[in-house]
Amino acid sequence: MQPEKQDVTILLVDDDEVDARAIQRAFRKKKVANTLIRAHDGLEALDIVRGTNGHKPIARPFLILLDLKMPRMNGLAFLEALRADPDHSDAIVFVLTTSDDEQDILGAYEHNVAGYLLKQDAAGGLMKHVEMLDQFMVSVQFPSV
């Protein structure tokens, strides 16, 4: 018996309006109908994940798409806080960033990201990333609690 397809919410954490719109557009073009919630930096993302500061907590299962270069709280600081939170330390995070700096890549993987994706090729590359994420969400069994 095959498991039932889960409705996985996507939390996009990105401060750049142009990049966020391009990502949202790529999901629409690929007909990925998952709920997409946007946070503009790591602090807002933590509030959404935890349900603090007036935010309703994000429903499980969810997947986080995380930019690294953001104001207030960058992606690596967000990952550190998320992994230190016992209620959310197991969250699935894919980094989606412009940074190809080796220290950023190492820092992300030290915080157990599921993958490190570059935004460089905004057209074809982004669509391939969305296809891969869609396949991931329909292929992997997520915990519901």
At 33-87, the pLDDT tens digits run: 889 999 999 999 999 999 999 999 898 889 999 999 999 999 999 999 999 999 9
CA 3, 35, 51, 126 dihedral sign is positive
2 pLDDT exceeds 70? no
Pairing of strands 62-66, 9-13: parallel
The whole-number pLDDT of residue 110 equals 96
Chain center to CA of 57: 15
Q: pTM value? A: 0.89
Among 15-29, 53-67, 72-86, 119-133, which is the least confidently predicted range?
119-133
Q: HSE on the CB side for 104, CA within 13 Å?
A: 18
Q: For residues 98 and 116, is the Cβ–Cβ distance under 8 A?
A: no
